[in-house]
Structure 1
């Protein structure tokens, strides 16, 4: 259930501005400083690590990469996303002071977004010899061949039961937020935020009538059954490992990221 968020006394507003995402840098202007000062709060900015060390009451992020980094960090601090974000309710940068004022005044609304746990278990040895790769995804998980036009065969299992085996360039599993981004380019179903599921679709399937699926996030398993090229595991746009025959990728819901939405009727002019 979504509920209004009551701000802290003397809140700390953390503005995340990692150097790797400088294009989405958020300027701390006089209006924002004034809003925070009015409630005896403070602003801290910098890399995600620096901001989290200040134990912020609320985080401000700009762009998809920064928001994904916050989800990977597993924080429980509520987040105000800023800028154009497909599939995410965000705030226009020019209205950020008004949005923060609304959040600190208790007029924001909590939105819970699912975060997926992703585990790549290598076929090159057991778990003691080759540690599993563990990641978290806010938007999507993709297996894709490293070389263009080199089709591999992928399998999909749901809670231990076979769902399908298909030949394709890859496969994507998207959360409700991610289903409006890259997954939409391969015509995957677009999911409502209220749905506790992922949309799964082949990428460049060999058979044009290959099915797509909406599946619960309890326990999905992807594997490469036959390969003509290595497949990369890509999590929220980041390549994190190589999937070979015998390896498997497990995807399940890990937890959620709390975002603060500020509907127009709750905004006041900054």
Structure 2
């Protein structure tokens, strides 16, 4: 649920770039410094920015947002540039948007963050996802079979190249290309869909966002776990991937005017 938010009397604005190249952070920081009065601007790597205890974070692109979600930050985030499923501001509007934020005209919207655990006989991998979680074969069109379970109950078993679970924000990105349902931010659920199913008629699901699990029932090729477009581990036959909302990332929405 959206809520009013205030930056406080002496706001500190942290500018973070999740990419290896920090040109976005430099450009955004320069725009803010040229427009913001009585505001401390800190533009640096994530660790250094967080040490400054920012009132609000400004960041560009999906990679930066996912980095903040993994870090488990408390400060709200103003997203800049196009981000699938999350309201953001154009670069040209950054100074005006910051003014609206500092003036208390922005509202805070919590974005669910999924806790992801891959468990098998010889490995445990833990990660966090802002957009989606995917199991996918390294070589498409090879026989793989996946199971979907919700709150301890089986939902479906199917042959496919993979399976994806997406948050409401993620359901408007990659998941939409495999016909997963697109979810409203007001819904506490995840969208689940097969990837490249081996039958022409398949189902997609809207499931509770707690106690979801994927299993690898059969595979003739390596199956990879991908979290927010990052490969984080391999899933053998005995693997189980559990997914539940464990946190939120607060994003700021500013009025158009």
Q: TM-score, normalised by structure 1?
A: 0.91
Q: List aligned pairs for 1:167-182, cutoff 5 A.
A: 167-182=159-174
Give the superposition deviation at 1:21. Answer: 4.9
d(CA) in 1 for partners of 2:172, 2:19: 27
**CA contact 1:155–1:224 (8 Å) conserved in 2:** yes
Gaps of 5+ in 2: none
Per-residue deviation, residues 222-248 of structure 1 (Å, max 9, x unmatched): 010100111100000000000011110
Per-residue deviation, residues 135-164 of structure 1 (Å, max 9, x unmatched): 000000000001122130000110110100
Per-residue deviation, residues 96-129 of structure 1 (Å, max 9, x unmatched): 01101100110001111100000001223xxxxx
The alpha-carbon distance between structure 1 residues 105 and 212, as it changes in their structure 2 partners (threshold 3 A), is: same
d(CA) in 1 for partners of 2:218, 2:29: 55
Q: What CA RMSD, in Å, does the superposition of the two structures yield over aligned residues? A: 1.4
Counterpart of 1:236 in structure 2 is 228
Counterpart of 1:55 in structure 2 is 53
The alignment status of 1:264 with 2:249, answered yes or no, reads no
d(CA) in 1 for partners of 2:206, 2:26: 36
Task: Compare 205-214 and 23-32 and name the one that shifted more.
Answer: 23-32
Q: List aligned pairs for 1:83-94, cutoff 5 A.
A: 83-94=81-92
Give the superposition deviation at 1:31. Answer: 5.1
Counterpart of 2:145 in structure 1 is 153
Give the superposition deviation at 1:189. Answer: 0.5
Q: TM-score, normalised by structure 2?
A: 0.96
**CA contact 1:123–1:245 (8 Å) conserved in 2:** no
Give the superposition deviation at 1:50. Answer: 1.3
Counterpart of 1:127 in structure 2 is none
d(CA) in 2 for partners of 1:28, 1:178: 25
Q: What secondary structure, in the 3-state scheme, does the structure 2 residue paired with 1:27 have? A: helix
Give the superposition deviation at 1:207. Answer: 1.1
d(CA) in 1 for partners of 2:12, 2:173: 32
**CA contact 1:26–1:62 (8 Å) conserved in 2:** no
Q: List aligned pairs for 1:193-204, cutoff 5 A.
A: 193-204=185-196
Match of 1:205 among 172, 197, 204: 197
d(CA) in 1 for partners of 2:205, 2:23: 35
Per-residue deviation, residues 73-103 of structure 1 (Å, max 9, x unmatched): 0111100000011111000011001101100
Counterpart of 1:32 in structure 2 is 32
Q: What secondary structure, in the 3-state scheme, does the structure 1 residue paired with 2:74 have? A: coil
d(CA) in 2 for partners of 1:19, 1:227: 34
Q: What secondary structure, in the 3-state scheme, does the structure 1 residue paired with 2:184 have? A: coil
**CA contact 2:61–2:83 (8 Å) conserved in 1:** yes
Gaps of 5+ in 1: 125-129, 266-270
Give the superposition deviation at 1:2. Answer: 1.3
d(CA) in 1 for partners of 2:17, 2:4: 26
